[in-house]
Structure 1
């Protein structure tokens, strides 16, 4: 009971520090220091070792590489090429070009790894085009805000790298495990658009004239460079030819070549992409370092084990624990970004999940889905901010437009919980057992 009271005190201190505007990394380290002082006379030694171990990892080298790849592609014409290349093939499906939002975000997300970058880049091209052709703006905004979250689900994903490092599981295994849930989310989003279009035919624009098959193929040739980059990054990992870090390096090289071929690789763009990647990488690594020190301090105090025992004593059962964690993460998502959510909770939650018998790779996909939900949850949903900037509309209006797609994400969480092997871990086990 004393440990649980101490844990509550640490939580209050953390909230107070975050509330003052102190950096997340500094807040985590300060709370870790407070916890460490109670159990060890020399907390500074643990602070130094935790910071070094957290940032000096070869595995973590994949993170800045994937971020840089996304920064480079953000400055190319990739989103425009994706939109033009996919558009001819969805003209006869109810909802027509709205499906391009989903497909383009899924493809761009697979090479950018960032939710905000995916949402902003695809929206920049898709929104003006959809408005010009008379598509329902509310549905277009909702689909783009939520489909942008595919940037953190379709591998490679920055959030997945952060979780894999924090939970000490294989990055490649988590990437593979996220593939089927990512495709499932895309399918559910498109299914909703089809249903909506059939129920609201008056809100559909006039049918566009047909296009010869040869013309469709010529227009879709714009997808070839992106397709080759996806194969280079994801295919080498899935085939076991490269580690996540090596694949990330291939991705940076491929994105530089793609930018050069399309004429987007200027010296200024190169420097801007490098600066952007450095800023974001340093921020994430600093947060991971603070979280690593807090995790080490928590382990020494015995708080995670005590919390796990307290949850077990509640006799919620495995699905009860997952339901509780779902609520907790959705609430956290209203105030924290995805990286912070993961590093703040991993040291506490992982022992509970392991005790309940859940696979940590499956749990990583589960958390990523909840982070996707957080990206469109007011008041700090990052994608809501992005769409607010792109459209000039109020955040509440964008959140309501995203609500049907939000429910599709919740349905995905339910499905992967009911069928964890079929939808999540089975593919990784199959590919990596060879």
Structure 2
């Protein structure tokens, strides 16, 4: 069986397994078992001897310890009124800019995502605060829904990012350097979203109603007080990692403490809340850890089949330039993003995509940022884009309407990809300084 056929068969098995409603780790385990037993013809005894050390090694990584801690930090922050304070702190500074408070959606998402590390949490918390407020003030609903749905995806680009941690573990790339690489692309995407909002509101002034609120400079500087807690925590987290004072896991532990202090001073934090958020973090971590173990096993099976090397040779035979290869892979990711989401997309594709792109001369750290950007597109791709459903549950607006509102912002994501390709230093400059 040629490598292309084997890859298609393996992809079909994974899609069928996941499409059946099975949990992610079960679908990936089934695909790995199918690869070993059917495609490779290994006996059960050999499969067992391969499975035990691979699974054990994948879930006992020290860097994996950062996952539950960052998730717990995000859970604690999401239960506070911090998102409302972020919005109120940014609003006075953007009220006179075309697009007005729509820019606070984007800026609030960037800041909040730097604490939560989750696009779903960012969309849910910022969306709850802003959707009704902005639509009632007369802002264009499409810009409101689109900006919230897509700005929330910055949560998996701006560190701490669970998706970047997962990529780093699968690709064996420094998580600290990946965190550094995600900062400028995340800020760039936020600037592109705000730029689109500004342009649309300049062309169609009715999309952004005249502001009834008149903020003085005193209001603006008082609003900055609301941004102090999140800014200090973000600076401490990122500074400890980039300064070499702490590993991501150690920084995450301090982040949990900082989030607890912020939540306590914000009011409403109880021991019951801490227990609930801790249990949510444990359950999410169990899902990610089991999926990582299954993905490691699938990666091993793919290695035994020599698919990365064979596919690399096949692509090399096509004589595609790096740019043409990137375009082809982007189309594949967009198609996969319509049926897969987030971490499953990373776990499924990295074992095959990484050697192809590395062989074409792309830096593994840059590849991580590229894949996360593709995951961002997947998060707002119908029919299963998580952010679409989160926003639907908040607003009651149809998935179709929210999807159409998000499309122009998805175009901004692809523009961001073009800029990253033309200027790879956007992602690689900060890691090179470490």
Bin for the TM-score computed over the shorter chain: over 0.9
List aligned pairs for 1:213-362, cutoff 5 A.
213-362=217-366
Partner of 2:72: 68
Distance 1:113 1:395, change over 3 A: same
1:32 maps onto 2:32 in alignment: yes
- Cα distance between partner residues in 1 of 2:123 and 2:16: 32
Find out whether 1:193 has 2:192 as its counterpart: no
State the alpha-carbon separation in 2 of the partners of residues 2 and 290 from structure 1.
24
Can you list the C-alpha shifts for 1:332-367, whole angstroms capped at 9, x where unaligned?
A: 111111100000111111111111111010000001
Compute the TM-score of the two structures, normalised by the length of structure 2: 0.96
> Structure 1-normalised TM-score?
0.96
Tell me the residue number matched to 1:375.
Answer: 379
- Equivalent of 2:154, from 144, 150, 154? 150
How far apart, CA to CA, are the structure 2 residues paired with 1:318 and 1:157?
A: 27
Q: Let me know the Cα RMSD of the aligned residues.
A: 1.4
Please state how far the C-alpha of 1:12 moved relative to its aligned partner: 2.9
SS of the aligned residue for 1:129 comes to helix
Look up the match of 1:416. 420
Q: Is the 8 A contact 1:105 1:118 kept in 2?
A: yes
| 106, 113, 118: which one aligns with 1:109 | 113
The 2-side partners of 1:51 and 1:262 are apart by 41
CA change 1:297–1:389 in 2 (3 A) is same
8 Å contact kept, 2:99–2:207 = no
Q: What SS does the corresponding residue of 2:99 show, helix, strand or coil?
A: coil
Q: CA deviation at 1:4?
A: 4.0
SS in 2 for 1:178: helix
CA distance in structure 1 between the aligned counterparts of 2:17 and 2:263, rounded to whole angstroms? 42
Equivalent of 1:397 in 391, 394, 401: 401
Distance 1:389 1:222 in 2: 28
| 8 A Cα contact 1:106 1:151, kept in partner | yes
C-alpha change, 1:209 and 1:292, in structure 2 (3 Å) is: closer
1:265 match: secondary structure = coil
2:392 maps to which residue?
388
Q: Say which is worse superposed, 190-199 or 211-220, in terms of deviation.
A: 211-220
SS at 1:111's partner residue?
helix
Residue 9 (structure 1) shift: 2.9
1:84-122 alpha-carbon deviations (Å, 9 max, x no partner): 111111111111111000000000001100000000000
Which residue, out of 413, 423, 428, partners 1:425?
428
Q: Which of the numbers 183, 191, 196 marks the counterpart of 2:187? A: 183
Deviation at 1:324, TM superposition (A): 1.0
Deviation at 1:298, TM superposition (A): 1.4
How far does residue 134 in structure 1 lie from its aligned partner after superposition?
2.2
Deviation at 1:3, TM superposition (A): 4.3
What aligned pairs does 1:106-185 form with structure 2 within 5 A after superposition?
106-185=110-189
Following TM superposition, by how much is the alpha carbon of 1:21 offset from its aligned partner in structure 2, in angstroms? 2.3
- Listed as ranges, the gaps of 5+ residues in structure 1 are none
- Mapped partners of 1:325, 1:154: distance in 2: 23
* Partner residue, 1:204: 208
Q: 1:192, CA displacement in angstroms?
A: 0.8
Q: What corresponds to 1:78 in structure 2?
A: 82
Q: Where does the alignment leave 5 or more consecutive residues of structure 2 unmatched? A: none
Cα distance, 1:209 vs structure 2: 4.5
CA shift, 1:132, in A, is 3.1
* Contact 1:91–1:208 (8 Å) recurs in 2: no
**Structure 2 vs 1, CA of residues 265 and 3 (structure 1 numbering), >3 Å: closer, same or farther?**
same
Q: Deviations over 1:101-157 (max 9, x none)?
A: 000000000110000000000011111221332222221111111101011111111
In structure 2, the partner of 1:7 is 7
Q: What is the number of residues matched between the two proteins?
A: 430
Question: Which deviates the most, 331-340 or 271-280?
Answer: 271-280
Helix, strand or coil for the counterpart of 2:214? coil
Classify the secondary structure of the residue corresponding to 1:378. coil
